[in-house]
A and B are shown apart, each in its own frame.
Chain A
Amino acid sequence: METRDWSLVIFTVLTQAAVGAFLTLQVLEHLATRRDRGASGRATDGPQNNSPARGGAQADEHEAGSARESSGARALAARGPLPAPLLVVLAVLSVGLFAALFHLSTPLQAVRAVVNFSSSWLSREIVFGSLFAALLSALVWHEWRTAGAAAASPAPERHAAGSAASGSAPATPTPAGQAFRSPAPANALSADPTSLAPATWLPRFTAAAGLAFICCQIAIYLLPAQPAWNSFATPAAFGGTALRLGILGVAAGFAVRNLTAGVDDPAPADPGGSGVAPAATLREGKVIRSFRVSDGGSGVAPAATLRGLALAGIAALALEFVVVPLHLSSLSANPLPAAAASVQRLTVDYSGILLLRLGLLGAAAAALVGVLVTIRRAAGPSAPSPPSLASVLTCVAFGLTVASEVCGRFLFYAMQVRVGI
């Protein structure tokens, strides 16, 4: 394999990992936001029954907080000046896009590659790849700017919410919508996203561009002249890489944060103790900014998040053990000599690399099972966060998967045999 093919290995693996990680972060963000809403709703129920007046004020505070969730979360999560997870994704994407240039013999003319958008999937790939990078950069900038703004004025914001609640002292809970519209916290709300704010649409457009990017990458290889590529195995390979590296990359991000949290971010005692933390602390998380989910204030990812990612990761790893045999058998059934030649490359010429690929995936899956077992063993109120062994194993699984994906993508290019003579 030549340098230019390696550039494609690096390009496709890294950009797919970036899209997968971005989508994984978005899903986690969505789940965390939904859970926060649910938890903050539940938290208002208890006190209300005991003391209507006090409960009302408290509920008002919580619901106002829930409505202003984004700005509240920002204010509290603005510990670092930059959204680290998104920056890592952007860095990986940038290296991947840069690597693609080395596939061209005239990289300086790369801009010409968008000219044939009307028929060339490569042109479309470049357009959507660039769009994804641009939107992701805008999102990084937006998160960084709003984090800075929120960090600059966290106190008045919280004060405003508090005074709105205690000043009016309603006997019954004020609906969230009213609290949202009440004039008192207006200064805080000015920074708040409405439905038209970038915080709402920017992540969605970014995700859509990322998905379109991967779809174009897939379509490039669906060539009738290349039977080994012109198959379900290509979407399975590219989508699978995005899933595996996306899920495990984010899991590794959490794991690294867990491992370093003890050093620079000492964990206070778990305030809830019961697993359901008070709404005020649940609002802390902002996954895309700091690899945090609502965590009861401990500064590390809760075991449930790591467990969920490990389970999803195992499923994504297992996918390949279905795809490889299916692909080989469909190629073997193909009457074209080129298909048989591709089978020969995979099972004879490069059988060692194929075995290495599958072995690495199996080892990664085993490490993830280890993560699950460790978390399960450590489960209990005294240990709400996963122990460091689970984090180490998560990083190991990610490393093994990266190595396996490189092998897999090498095979993808190595198995290519054109039809005809």
Chain B
Amino acid sequence: MSDTKQQVAFFFDANRCTGCRTCEVACKVENGVELGPRWRKVRTVEGDQDGGPYMYHVSMSCNHCEVPVCAEACPSGAITKRSDGIVIVDESKCIGARLCAWACPYDAPQFSEETGKMEKCNFCSHRIDAGTGGPACAEACPTKALQWGTLDEVAAKAGATAEFGPLPDADITKPAIRFIPLKLVHS
């Protein structure tokens, strides 16, 4: 994967996610994230449309954006984008200014009160680099709602879109994630 130097990406199908939060737990365990910061979050969206109520879940972490506004805003150069597109925080350089958290539209950077540093999803870069697999969250998902691949791969999936319901305008950061929105089936 890292050899191809193609932008890595997530894929999320809202029709498959059950909201079990296995992905969140897998992330915590894999990366030893302490209580508090949540590198991945499963949120629930509810609403009313076409005369019927709906509810679905969205599992999202850092989207390793093609335009990482977090890195642009960071004054100490602690956030960088690797050649494979993974956006990583070098915690040794972080001074805790929290500018990335203001700039990111996805609430991805998580401040650790414990270390006084910002941390976030690193796409399990240690696994990618070691060639032992992809992000733990996607590999743990029981329904294949959450998957990973190169941006080209996930964008080629049938029905995949960049813009997704309640999410911010994808033009802000060009996030490396594609969605299958919920298909409403009201009878």
- Which residues of chain A are near B106, meaning CB under 8 Å? 420
B75→A114 contact, CB < 8 A: yes
Query: How far, in angstroms, from A418 to B93 measured CA to CA in the complex?
Result: 25
B168→A419 contact, CB < 8 A: yes
Query: How far, in angstroms, from A110 to B76 measured CA to CA in the complex?
Result: 9
Residues 63-74 of chain B, each 1 if its beta carbon lies under 8 Å from chain A, else 0: 000000101111
Closest residue of chain A to B60 (Cβ to Cβ) is: A421
Does any Cβ of B come within 8 Å of A51's Cβ?
no
- Which residues of chain B are near A225, meaning CB under 8 Å? 69, 102-105, 168, 172
Closest residue of chain B to A112 (Cβ to Cβ) is: B76
- Which residues of chain B are near A337, meaning CB under 8 Å? 166
B75→A115 contact, CB < 8 A: yes
- Which residues of chain B are near A416, meaning CB under 8 Å? 102
Closest chain B CB from A119 CB (angstroms) = 4
Q: Which residues of B45-94 have CB atoms within 8 Å of chain A's CB atoms?
A: 45, 58, 69, 71-77, 93-94
Contact of A116 among B75, B102, B105 (CB under 8 A): B75
Closest residue of chain B to A229 (Cβ to Cβ) is: B102
A120→B75 contact, CB < 8 A: yes
B105→A120 contact, CB < 8 A: no
Query: How far, in angstroms, from A220 to B100 measured CA to CA in the complex?
Result: 11
Query: How far, in angstroms, from A337 to B47 measured CA to CA in the complex?
Result: 13
A104→B166 contact, CB < 8 A: no
Query: How far, in angstroms, from A123 to B117 measured CA to CA in the complex?
Result: 18
Residues 116-155 of chain B, each 1 if its beta carbon lies under 8 Å from chain A, else 0: 1100000000000000000000000000000000000000
Closest chain A CB from B177 CB (angstroms) = 13
- Which residues of chain A are near B116, meaning CB under 8 Å? 105-106
B73→A120 contact, CB < 8 A: yes
Contact of A418 among B72, B97, B107, B111 (CB under 8 A): B107
Closest residue of chain A to B106 (Cβ to Cβ) is: A420
A116→B74 contact, CB < 8 A: yes
Contact of B97 among A104, A221, A223 (CB under 8 A): A104
A420→B76 contact, CB < 8 A: no
Residues 203-235 of chain A, each 1 if its beta carbon lies under 8 Å from chain B, else 0: 000000000000000001101111000000000
Specify which of B72, B99, B169 lies most central, judged by the most chain A CB atoms within 10 Å of its CB: B99
Known contacts A225-B104, A225-B105; is A421 also within 8 Å of B97 by CB?
no
Does any Cβ of A come within 8 Å of B37's Cβ?
no
A220→B99 contact, CB < 8 A: yes
Known contacts A103-B97, A109-B95, A110-B95; is A116 also within 8 Å of B76 by CB?
yes
B43→A421 contact, CB < 8 A: yes
B117→A105 contact, CB < 8 A: yes
Does any Cβ of B come within 8 Å of A76's Cβ?
no
Does any Cβ of B come within 8 Å of A121's Cβ?
yes
Closest residue of chain B to A125 (Cβ to Cβ) is: B75
A421→B74 contact, CB < 8 A: no
Does any Cβ of B come within 8 Å of A160's Cβ?
no
Contact of B75 among A4, A106, A126, A418 (CB under 8 A): A126
- Which residues of chain B are near A106, meaning CB under 8 Å? 94-96, 116
CB-based A-B contact count at 8 angstroms: 92
Does any Cβ of A come within 8 Å of B167's Cβ?
yes
Size of interface on A: residues with Cβ below 8 Å to B: 30
A119→B72 contact, CB < 8 A: yes
Known contacts A112-B76, A113-B75, A115-B77; is A122 also within 8 Å of B97 by CB?
yes
Closest residue of chain A to B58 (Cβ to Cβ) is: A421
B76→A421 contact, CB < 8 A: no
Closest chain A CB from B8 CB (angstroms) = 21
Closest residue of chain A to B113 (Cβ to Cβ) is: A105
B167→A420 contact, CB < 8 A: yes
Query: How far, in angstroms, from A108 to B50 measured CA to CA in the complex?
Result: 56
A109→B168 contact, CB < 8 A: no
Query: How far, in angstroms, from A226 to B101 measured CA to CA in the complex?
Result: 11
Query: How far, in angstroms, from A400 to B169 measured CA to CA in the complex?
Result: 41
Closest chain B CB from A293 CB (angstroms) = 41
- Which residues of chain A are near B97, meaning CB under 8 Å? 103-104, 113, 122
Closest chain A CB from B5 CB (angstroms) = 22
Specify which of A105, A121, A123 lies most central, judged by the most chain B CB atoms within 10 Å of its CB: A105
Closest chain A CB from B23 CB (angstroms) = 16
B76→A109 contact, CB < 8 A: yes
Closest residue of chain A to B101 (Cβ to Cβ) is: A418
Closest residue of chain B to A123 (Cβ to Cβ) is: B75
- Which residues of chain A are near B98, meaning CB under 8 Å? 4, 103
- Which residues of chain B are near A4, meaning CB under 8 Å? 98
Query: How far, in angstroms, from A109 to B117 measured CA to CA in the complex?
Result: 12
Closest residue of chain B to A337 (Cβ to Cβ) is: B166
B96→A105 contact, CB < 8 A: yes
Closest chain B CB from A147 CB (angstroms) = 38
Known contacts A104-B97, A105-B117, A110-B95; is A420 also within 8 Å of B72 by CB?
no
A residues whose Cβ falls under 8 Å from a Cβ of B = 4, 103-106, 109-110, 112-116, 119-123, 126, 220-221, 223-226, 337, 416, 418-421
B residues whose Cβ falls under 8 Å from a Cβ of A = 43, 45, 58, 69, 71-77, 93-99, 102-107, 111, 116-117, 166-169, 172
Subset of 17 A-B contacts with CB under 8 Å:
A4-B98, A103-B98, A105-B95, A105-B117, A106-B94, A106-B116, A113-B95, A115-B77, A116-B77, A119-B71, A120-B73, A223-B73, A225-B172, A226-B102, A418-B102, A420-B167, A421-B167
- Given A106-B116, A119-B71, A226-B102; 5 other pairs, CB 8 A cutoff: A104-B96, A122-B97, A123-B75, A418-B102, A420-B106
The 8 closest A-B pairs by CB, nearest first: A105-B96, A105-B116, A122-B75, A225-B105, A113-B75, A112-B76, A419-B168, A123-B75
